[in-house]
Amino acid sequence: MIYRCENYIYESENGYKGLIEKFKSSDFDTPKSIKEYMFNVLQRVGFETDIVEDLNEERFIKGLEELKIIERMYRVFVYGTLKKGYGNNRLLKNSFREKDCYIDGYDMYSNNCFPMIIPGDGKIYCETYLVNEHTLTKLDLLEGCPTHYRREEVIANNNIKGYIYIYNCDLSTQIKVKTGNWQRAY
Provide the annotated active-site residues.
143
C-alpha separations of 133 from 3, 56, 73, 139, 142 in Å? 11, 23, 7, 10, 14
Burial of 72 (0-12, 13-18, 19+ CB in 10 A): middle
Q: Do 140 and 82 form a contact (C-beta atoms < 8 A)?
A: no
State which H helix or E strand residue 118 sits in. Answer: strand 115-132
Q: Say how far apart CA 171 and CA 150 lie, in whole Å.
A: 15
Q: What residues contact residue 153 under an 8 Å CB cut-off, 6+ apart?
A: 161, 162, 163
